[in-house]
Amino acid sequence: MNKGRINYKSSGVNIDEGQKFIEDIKSLIQKRNLKNALSNIGSFSGYIKPPKKFKDPVFALACDGVGTKISLALKQKNLSTIGIDLVAMCVNDLIVSGATPLTFLDYYGVSKLNRNKGKEIITGILKGCDEAGCDLIGGETAEMPNHYTKDNFDLVGFAMGINERKNVIDGSKVRENNVILALPSSGFHSNGYSLINRIITSKNDRKLHKKLLTPTKIYVKEVLELTKKLKINGMAHITGGGLEENLSRINSSYTMIIDRDKCKLKGIFLEIMKLGDVTRNEMYKVFNCGIGFCLVVNKEDVEKAKKINPKLFEIGYVSKTEKKFIFKN
């Protein structure tokens, strides 16, 4: 008798369950009206057709993850929002150059596949894709026992966008005295959760935890509307590293001067700062602190921009000094 015979399932990988999960995803996508995809989930690769309106198309690519926000989602047994986070973190990077998101793929790595949890995540991804106006055309689910421990898993996204070559926004048109406009964030988005998790580790406050799971805002529609109606010289998605790190990437030849009084800490940011006894400087260094996306425009276009999107507000201006970033006040 071969009682000790080893197979893949006894090693912790259930191929049949994985195939059923693919069918789950197909059923979620089946009734959707795909805009650019030529293939369905389950193929070895996904194909897209570029929209015909582009005369000299160039493609933009972005990759990102949800990070340790996953830990909080698991603790709260709520995986419904992290799929939105995943899409947001990728497509918000794409639109910094003015690209229109076309397609999305995901990587979901687990210790042991749970189809219900997986469907909850994929449903969130599809919601994010709807909001961003792109198609989910494929991905990878990897069951790796002993690599991912307990209920931990990893979630990574890959997005592709398209733009006219002549319309790419790369920051090269930024000039002195340009104005920096900001769009508010929906919260911490998906950055700095290693610090947040440490702060809240002993605080069982479900109301606070729920606020911390607020999904990342997707800026696609409002930013692309601005790019069509306004001359924009540079943009930045405010992620890990806060305003300083991300605004400094727009154009290294200029200095971004931010008025701290125009982006004061409030709401959930103040709550976490006080709860963890975190310094104000550390908060601005780690988190978006209420500002999720920034645009650099000519001074004469500020009022026009605000009419197009009343949520925009001024936080600073561009200068020419030795330093690359300055916080005033």
Residue 188 and residue 287 in contact, taking contact as beta carbons nearer than 8 Å: yes
Where is pLDDT greater, at 176 or 324?
A: 176
Whether the per-residue pLDDT at 2 is higher than 60: the answer is no
The pLDDT assigned to 173 comes to 97
Which amino acid makes up residue 329? N
In the chain, what are the domain boundaries? 15-42+54-167, 179-328
Where is pLDDT greater, at 13 or 315?
A: 315
The pLDDT assigned to 1 comes to 46
Helices (H), 166-251: 193-200, 206-212, 220-229, 242-247
The CATH code that applies to domain 179-328 is: 3.90.650.10
pLDDT tens figures, 154-169? 999 999 999 999 999 9
pLDDT tens figures, 200-251? 987 778 899 999 999 999 999 999 999 999 999 999 999 999 999 999 999 9
Q: Which range, of 22-31, 68-77, 292-301, averages the lowest pLDDT?
A: 22-31
pLDDT tens figures, 261-305? 999 999 999 999 999 999 999 999 999 999 999 999 999 999 999
Residue 226 and residue 302 in contact, taking contact as beta carbons nearer than 8 Å: no
Residue 24 and residue 126 in contact, taking contact as beta carbons nearer than 8 Å: no
The pLDDT assigned to 323 comes to 72
Identify the residue whose tokens are 């125009």. 262
Whether the per-residue pLDDT at 11 is higher than 70: the answer is no
Residue 178 and residue 261 in contact, taking contact as beta carbons nearer than 8 Å: no
Whether the per-residue pLDDT at 191 is higher than 50: the answer is yes
The CATH code that applies to domain 15-42+54-167 is: 3.30.1330.10
pTM of the model: 0.92
Whether the per-residue pLDDT at 31 is higher than 80: the answer is no
